Amino acid sequence: MSEIKFANGIYFNRPHEKAPEFVLGSISIKPDDFIGWLREQDVNVKGYVRLKVNLSKAGKEYVALDDWKPDPGSQRGVIPDEPKEKEDDFDDDIPF
């Protein structure tokens, strides 16, 4: 497991106790801190810096850098080549 890189200047807040059920929470951003931290991060191949909201063991939400990268050796999502049939693999006595 990689080291947690907390996102400076961005904070997740739980919804107010009287908030409607569809409100999951809010995010507060301190621009000077967040922009400075954001500029220090590497972007992914699509040009994004991904963040995640996690729950600590103490039950507190926090925002951290999502630095997950796909395994370059993984075949997930790759369609294998179709096997090529040889003409001599067929029985010529097939009635159709």
Tell me 17's DSSP state: T
d(CA 17, CA 21): 10
d(CA 92, CA 23): 68
Rounded average pLDDT per 10-residue block, the chain, 96 residues: 88 96 96 96 92 94 91 66 58 63
Tell me 78's DSSP state: P
Dihedral sign, CA of 52, 6, 37, 8? positive
| pLDDT score for 12 | 96
| pLDDT score for 75 | 62
| pLDDT score for 87 | 57
Q: Are strands 61-65 and 26-29 parallel, antiparallel or unpaired?
A: unpaired
Q: Are strands 26-29 and 10-13 parallel, antiparallel or unpaired?
A: antiparallel
